[in-house]
Amino acid sequence: MGAAYFYHLTQRPLAETLIMLLGKAQGAGWRVAVRGTDAAALAQIDSALWQGPDDGFLPHGLAGGPHDADQPILLTTKGDAANGATCVFSIHGAEVSATEVGTLDRVCILFDGNDEIALNTARGQWKALKSAGASAQYWSEESGRWEKKAET
């Protein structure tokens, strides 16, 4: 049974945080879907992933290609990732269900703490998952390093 980890971004940009967390997910052996709501925004994430991290490469691809099932990290706007993901990263308010949280190894919800709409969306996701009995943790970087602030 998995858990949802909420990451409240206030110090670092989304792409930088995503690169760090994707490296950890890859280290855990998880197949990952990065679920967004906008194809153009995912294309920007794709470009950022090609740039970093400094100490390695994160193998990935944008959904819609002939090798989606082979991608360790698949960037997609769809709810069902073709790569058999065991971990989902939700960005830009992409929906996540309590069922997913229960069946995947991990769900990571990243949201911009300087964007009121993103904050409200994340609050709604937290409440919905909590009400459904899903395990969730809330992490904040407001102190300059990641700290767990709440857990259900």
User: For the chain, which domains are there?
Assistant: 4-151 (3.40.50.10110)
Neighbour order of strands in the sheet with 73-76:
61-62, 73-76, 32-35, 87-90, 106-112, 4-9, 136-140, 147-151
pLDDT tens digits, 104-150: 999 999 999 999 999 999 999 999 999 999 999 999 998 889 999 99
Count of Cβ atoms closer than 10 Å to residue 24 Cβ: 12
pTM of the model: 0.94
Q: Tens of pLDDT along 39-82?
A: 999 999 999 998 866 777 899 999 999 999 999 999 999 998 89
